[in-house]
Amino acid sequence: MSSYRHRPRPRARRARPLAPAGVAGLVLLAAACSSADDRAEAAVPSPGKEVTGLCRGLDKALPETVVDEDRSDPEPESELTAGWGSPAIILRCGIPRPPVMSDPDAVTVEVDGVGWVLEELEDGAHRFTTSLRRAYVEVSLPGEVAAVSGSFALVDLAPAIKRTIPQGVAD
């Protein structure tokens, strides 16, 4: 059973000022879903031993719900991936350094003490990747917009990431 709980607005910032449409896009991001019978699929990263250990710790600390969606991990099962809802919000831990990290014009946000780099994908989907952490954690949000902001997914995930993935530079 899910109950409503008040959540404070996430604090967002960008290296350069956001256009009003960009701010609205961050506020309106949401988790949407595909068929309830289909488990999502996610490529499993293959990081080194240290990062794998950090990701296993994150997997144990992740919440059972994100934006009121129950955890439903993708195929193949792995401690390096997690999912919520259908179509799923997908988390992958231990990904290689994404090229967007080298883009000086990349959109960056900070949500509850965790820095993220935002990428807008096809079909309105968004991908967020942690920055300044010892492991890269990627969160992909489906493009469909629901009543709850996708930014709240980052709010729900921030405590686990802060506890298990130390600040620093990933290899």
Q: What is the tens place of the pLDDT at every residue in 46-77?
A: 999 999 999 999 999 999 999 889 999 999 99
Contact 84, 66 (CB under 8 A): yes
pLDDT (0 to 100) of residue 143: 81
Lowest mean per-residue pLDDT among 23-27, 34-38, 164-168: 23-27
Tokens of 35: 């068929």
* pTM tops 0.85, yes or no: no
- Residue labelled with tokens 């099962």: 77
Q: Residues near 83 by Cβ (< 8 Å), separated by ≥ 6?
A: 39, 40, 42, 71, 72, 73, 74, 89, 90, 91
